[in-house]
Amino acid sequence: MEDQLPREQFEKLLYGWYAKHGRDLPWRHTTDPYKIWVSEIMLQQTQVERVKEYYVRFLEKFPDLKALATASWEDVLDEWRGLGYYRRARNLHAAAQVIQKECGGVFPPEYRQLRDLPGIGSYTAAAISCFAFGDDMPAIDTNVEKVFAHVFEEAWKECKPAEKGAFVSNYIGEGKGAAFHHAIMDVGSALSAGQACPFHSRCEGIVVERKRKHKGLKGSLIRAAIGVLIHDGKVLIAKRKKGSLFGGYWEFPGGKLEEGEDERNCLKREMMEEMGIEVSVRPYFHRVESDNGYLMSFHRCSLLLGEPQAKESDEFCWVTPAQLSEYQFPPMNDEVISILQEKKAMFRV
């Protein structure tokens, strides 16, 4: 399929984002299939924040499968009341009784056995297998659909329903089923809330590549010059405007070379247009070919004239090398930030 993305790159973007933005949810601290099952049933058609309080209270009343199986329906209903969709609670109670009676109170580990229980569909069975029993099988819900459609676009849309499981499986590393699905769920939630996407560079890369193919520029790269403006031991960074690509992320000022322009003249122009300042530009100290089709050169700059202004950004600030780690940058800046933090001589006059 077109627009494939190497798993290693996918994992780097996904888990890097999740390490910073992943949600701390109570059911992520257990591998008990009973507790995971309860959370998955509650999460059907209900927002996460609402489920959290019910989940804790429900498990205090029914701490294990036997307690739920031997409880009366009225007691179960009392703890579920207000959560809605009461058929879920009836199926939960009924399935607990089946497991208690037919499986000796031991939660069945097999996907097919799980599917036979009341109220457990294909997604819920796969999720329990993944989170409780360490399976790497794909559990495709609306979040997985949302993220894969967002990242892979036509390649995902062209998949038949029976092919989607194999597509997702290509991106689940061995033994990483639970981590993968936790991260994907949170990315899907972030996308729904209009927050920054960890795959921005990938998404832009697809668009850029299609434009390059359309223009007959296959294999060519878009050149950009980026300015690392250092002054009084600090470096200038700017926050991209909301609604733009990487909106809300921080960056070093700069931009694309125009026809007939070299890197130094490009950066002088960009610094005036973006920040309203004149700078001197040194030869590049780092170059990177980004995932979105750009050849980016990073240049140390010095301030010659003017005071920086946020002309094409939401805001700007001066930060020390150590403080750079506190700001969220697009992934193509990672190596440059490491260089700035390791080579302190760059900040000496």
Strand 234-239 relative to strand 250-251, pairing = antiparallel
Q: Is 307 helix (H, G, I), strand (E, B) or coil?
A: coil
CA distances 297 to 20, 262, 294, 312, Å, are 27, 11, 10, 20
Q: Is 315 a catalytic residue?
A: no
Q: Encode pLDDT of 121-158 as tens digits.
A: 999 999 999 999 999 999 999 999 999 988 887 788 88
Strand 294-305 relative to strand 222-231, pairing = parallel
Evaluate if residue 204 carries a pLDDT over 60.
Answer: no
286: tokens are: 């780092």
Q: What single-letter DSSP state applies at residue 318? A: E
The pLDDT, as a whole number, for residue 220 is: 58
Q: Is 102 helix (H, G, I), strand (E, B) or coil?
A: helix
Is the Cα torsion angle 41, 47, 50, 56 positive or negative in sign? positive
The pLDDT, as a whole number, for residue 222 is: 83
Domains and CATH numbers, the chain: 7-192 (1.10.340.30), 209-347 (3.90.79.10)
Of the candidates 226, 224, 235, 250, the one whose C-alpha atom is nearest the C-alpha of residue 303 is 235
CA 344 distance to own-chain centroid? 32
Is the Cα torsion angle 202, 207, 208, 213 positive or negative in sign? positive
Of the candidates 298, 284, 293, the one whose C-alpha atom is nearest the C-alpha of residue 334 is 298
The pLDDT, as a whole number, for residue 4 is: 57
Q: Which residue in the list 40, 79, 251, 270 is annotated as catalytic?
A: 40
Using pLDDT thresholds of 50, 70 and 90, give the confidence band for residue 242: confident
Using pLDDT thresholds of 50, 70 and 90, give the confidence band for residue 335: confident
Using pLDDT thresholds of 50, 70 and 90, give the confidence band for residue 292: low
Q: Encode pLDDT of 118-131 as tens digits.
A: 999 999 999 999 99
Distance CA 148, CA 146 (A): 6
In angstroms, the first-to-last Cα distance of the chain is 52
The pLDDT, as a whole number, for residue 137 is: 92
Evaluate if residue 302 carries a pLDDT over 90.
Answer: yes
Residues recorded for the chain? 349
Instruction: Please give the helix or strand (H or E) that residue 69 lies within, else none.
Output: helix 65-69
Which whole number is the average pLDDT over 277-290?
A: 87
Using pLDDT thresholds of 50, 70 and 90, give the confidence band for residue 206: very low
Evaluate if residue 46 carries a pLDDT over 80.
Answer: yes
Contact 79, 57 (CB under 8 A): yes
Q: Encode pLDDT of 310-334 as tens digits.
A: 998 889 999 999 999 899 888 788 8
The pLDDT, as a whole number, for residue 182 is: 96
Evaluate if residue 218 carries a pLDDT over 60.
Answer: no
131: tokens are: 């989170």
Give me the amino acid identity at 293: G
Per the rule left: phi > 0, alpha: psi between -120 and 50, beta: everything else, 14 is alpha
Contact 153, 206 (CB under 8 A): yes
Which whole number is the average pLDDT over 250-278?
A: 92
